[in-house]
Chain A
Amino acid sequence: MGQAAGNATERIAGEQHMPISMPRNILLVLLAATLAAAPVCQAAGTPINQESPKPAVSAPAALETGTASQAKADDDGYAETAPAPVADPLYRWNKFWFGFNHLFFSGFMRPLAKGYAIVVPRFVRTGLTNAYQNFIFPIRFVNALLQLNFTKAQREFGRFMINSTIGVGGLMDVAKADPNLQPGNEDFGQTLGSWGIGDGFYIVWPFLGPSSARDTVGLAGDAVANPLFWIFGPWAVYGDDNPWYLSYIVKAGDVFNNLPTTLETYDSVTKPAVDPYSAIKDAYIQYRRNAVSQ
């Protein structure tokens, strides 16, 4: 009898504790959800891959290999440089937003970027980029772990520790001086790729630019792994007054800070091109496939 009563009080005490530990639980649940999202994404990626060959130009079977190996020798002699072309079922949508992005960035934003590059010296722009890249180190670190690439994870961790301290909060990339601590660029799209998921199909997003079905899922994963998501997220880990749009302002600021360099890269692809749309599409897919294979 007395024992039963004791149990009951314990249970009540336990129930009373529940609400207090709730916020921490939510964090854990979210973290678990992030990790659990990975297999879901994988499941989501597979059907995309199987459907996509329909509008592909040729050789749909090779799409499934994902990391199209270039070393595949063939009789016709040019096969080694001919991995499967990416499917483009949303051609009209893509072409429209490609044109829109071109007008917006290359037309409207270019003078602003040029002015910015003149007013703000290069070392300041590089410093800002370094600091932001250092700040979003969890994205690269988590993805290196998800790829089971512990060398890369170790490298990212080492870079973060050195640059956050000696590099004054990441403003200076001092770790780069060490050949073993070169900057990496792991992201969730590459992680999905390393798990054997192909590009899916090509898609151009307004403002964000060229992407693929797989890399779009990757962008969502990266957004969650970004510390900004946890600081300014809608659920406000630290109090309710944090305006959610601050994270977008920081991200847009980073895009603008890098715009002079981005436009340079854009020009180096589109200027020599006979068909700029196809040139950007192919350059994006080739660049990503190469990144996945490394």
Chain B
Amino acid sequence: MLRSLSRLFASLALVTALAAPALAGAPTETLSVSIDKIIALLADPAYKNPDTRPAMRAKLLTSIDAVFDMKELSRRALGAQWNNFSPEQQQRFVTAFGQLLQNTYLDKIESYTDEKVQYLKEQDLGPGKAEVDTKVVGKGKEIPISYRLSDRNGWKVYDVVIEGVSLVQNYRTQFGQILVNESPDALIAKIAAKKS
């Protein structure tokens, strides 16, 4: 009896041990590889050097572009309004919005010092979608950041949720408010005019 029980526990432990890596699935894997790459670039002394900085920044932007699905992010930030934009307007919107995000968040990313990223859990958000919950731990500060990814020829981020506040939804509220009185072109102009 005792032996069979212990065997049961042993096999259970084995199953759990084998199942654990499966919990951290492809979305977490893709995300952590990208984040590690970005952190490695930022930690590189060449980033601090004014001569090599532009080249390093170009590399950083390429790495960020590779993991963010800017078109999907833009589509969701407009919500149902996306369909009221002509394909040409959609194109300009994606470019302007991407530039706005880059202007505002590059400084924050570049202010990286020695924060550590912890991967907490991965949730299924339906077919081809997942949420990866992380925690950024810095000097006496912990910020919960969740990434929402969708699988379109590889997992890409379409929303970032900081302290429970979704970036995409926040912009959707703003754009929705502006589009009540203004045209898509006016909105695009407003986004493009915003510096930092």
Residues of A within 8 A of B (CB): 57, 70-71, 73, 76, 78, 80-83, 85, 126, 269, 271-275, 277-279, 281-283, 286-287, 289-291
Contacts and interface: CB of A to CB of B under 8 A. Distances in A.
B174 A274 contact: yes
A272 B101 contact: yes
Contact of A272 (B105, B125, B177): B105
Contacts of B178: 274-275
Nearest to B159: A81
B185 interface: no
A199 to B, nearest CB: 14
B32 interface: no
B145 interface: no
B76 interface: yes
Interface string B120-153: 0000011001000000000010000000100000
B169 A81 contact: yes
Contacts, number: 79
A291 B75 CA distance: 27
A76 B80 contact: yes
B50 interface: no
- B interface, by DSSP: helix, strand, loop or mixed? helix
B14 interface: no
B89 to A, nearest CB: 16
A195 B116 CA distance: 37
Contact of B104 (A76, A272, A287, A290): A272
Contact of A81 (B140, B168, B196): B168
Contact of A283 (B104, B140, B170, B196): B170
Contacts of A286: 164-166, 169-170
B56 interface: no
A81 B166 contact: yes
A278 B174 contact: yes
Contacts of A277: 177
Contact of B174 (A73, A78, A273, A287): A273
A202 B187 CA distance: 24
B156 interface: no
Which of B104, B163, B165, B176 has the most chain A CB within a 10 Å cutoff?
B165
